[in-house]
Copies of this chain bind each other. A is one copy, B any other.
Amino acid sequence: MHSPKILVYRPDEVEYYKEIIEKQGITNIYTASTLEEAKSQLPTTEVILCWQFPLELLETPEASSVKWIQSMGAGVDDLVKHPSIPNDIQITRIVDQFGTPISEFVFGYMLYLANDIARTREEQAKRQWTPFHAQLLSGKKIGVAGLGSVGLEIVRKARAFDMEVFGLSMSGAKADRVDHHFGPDQWKSFVQELDYLVLTLPLTEQTRWSVNREVLLSMKPDATLINVGRGALVKESDLIEILQEGHLKAVVLDVFEKEPLPIQHPFWTMPNVLVTPHLSGPSTPEGVGQFFVQNLQKYVEGKPLQGVVRREFGY
């Protein structure tokens, strides 16, 4: 069986990823954590498994043998938009692994807000016994933008919480368990009645800045926005403006136009903005390793890969 040279690239933990893959009986694996290391390993490399790869290397002669790039993440907007990746290199992304952690993140933060856990923590610190009525998710309206594997897992849990489910799909796909369907031209009517808007879309030319001032102002003033997709789905400058005008009850942001979120960014200190450091859909080494090994098996057998990115759609 053909055993292609594999380069595993990421800024940290790269040896641990190599170890996990080697344990599955794969050989011919090299690692790199910097541009220089990557450059010296590239010649004769056929397969790249990577996170934050220095993409400019792919237009150099050293990269001429690369045939397949497996991203360690689900979002590949950086790869897709990069002009230097030759068209004959196949790109794949991780699929079907993030529904569980991201949906647990989304429900964790929705329930944190609804139960006002911040308040109970503060009152415990003051030894204060003041029962209050929490909000319920039950009966509330949740809108899920993006009905891929992540969005659908959120929909499934929303059903268990007896929420009314609105779904927006860029492709117009309809899903079981979604009560009201919307397409890409219907953002304003989609968001209008929602108590919670959750963004799980990929970032593409079509989705960039979908949630702009107009859409935000179409939301109810006491609605909550949660972004676990990509930062630039939301026009951040518009979001800051409408928040300063007193619109929206709370915003939970796990992703940002620029990451890490710059230290001077207003989001850090805005009272109803909850910032988390892009942790809702973690690539675990074990999960990535398993996905890659299964795809590698298909690759050497010449079968179609899982998670193939269609660059014309942007994901």
Size band of the interface chain A makes with B: 35 or more
Nearest-neighbour CB distance to chain B for A10, whole angstroms, equals 13
Do A104 and B274 touch across chains, with their CB atoms under 8 A apart?
no
Q: Using Cβ atoms and an 8 Å threshold, which residues of chain B touch A101? A: 134, 136
Interface string of A87-126 (1 = CB under 8 A from B): 0000000000000110011011101101101101101100
Known: A276-B120, A277-B123. A104 touches B137 (CB 8 A): yes
Could you show 24 A-B contacts with beta carbons less than 8 Å apart?
A100-B138, A100-B162, A101-B136, A104-B134, A104-B137, A105-B115, A107-B107, A107-B111, A108-B112, A108-B117, A109-B117, A120-B274, A120-B279, A124-B274, A124-B276, A127-B263, A129-B260, A131-B279, A133-B279, A133-B282, A133-B284, A157-B160, A157-B161, A160-B160
Do A277 and B130 touch across chains, with their CB atoms under 8 A apart?
yes
16 new A-B contacts, CB < 8 A, other than A100-B162, A117-B117, A129-B277, are A100-B136, A101-B134, A104-B134, A105-B115, A107-B111, A111-B112, A120-B275, A121-B274, A123-B277, A124-B274, A127-B263, A129-B260, A129-B261, A131-B279, A131-B282, A156-B160
A127 and B266 alpha carbons, distance in the complex (Å): 10
Do B124 and A121 touch across chains, with their CB atoms under 8 A apart?
no
Do A268 and B124 touch across chains, with their CB atoms under 8 A apart?
yes
**Nearest 9 interchain pairs by C-beta:** A160-B160, A108-B111, A129-B260, A108-B115, A131-B279, A129-B277, A131-B277, A124-B275, A127-B268
Nearest-neighbour CB distance to chain B for A180, whole angstroms, equals 21
Known: A111-B107, A161-B157. A279 touches B132 (CB 8 A): yes
Q: Using Cβ atoms and an 8 Å threshold, which residues of chain B touch A310? A: none
Nearest-neighbour CB distance to chain B for A274, whole angstroms, equals 7
A107 and B134 alpha carbons, distance in the complex (Å): 13
Query: Is residue A174 contacting chain B, with contact meaning CB distance below 8 A?
Result: no
Query: Is residue A311 contacting chain B, with contact meaning CB distance below 8 A?
Result: no
A181 and B112 alpha carbons, distance in the complex (Å): 31
Measured CB to CB, the nearest residue on chain B to A138 is: B100
Q: Using Cβ atoms and an 8 Å threshold, which residues of chain B touch A157? A: 160-161
Do B138 and A104 touch across chains, with their CB atoms under 8 A apart?
yes
Interface string of A265-288 (1 = CB under 8 A from B): 000100000111111001010000
A138 and B282 alpha carbons, distance in the complex (Å): 15
Query: Is residue A159 contacting chain B, with contact meaning CB distance below 8 A?
Result: yes
Nearest-neighbour CB distance to chain B for A4, whole angstroms, equals 30
Do B278 and A131 touch across chains, with their CB atoms under 8 A apart?
yes
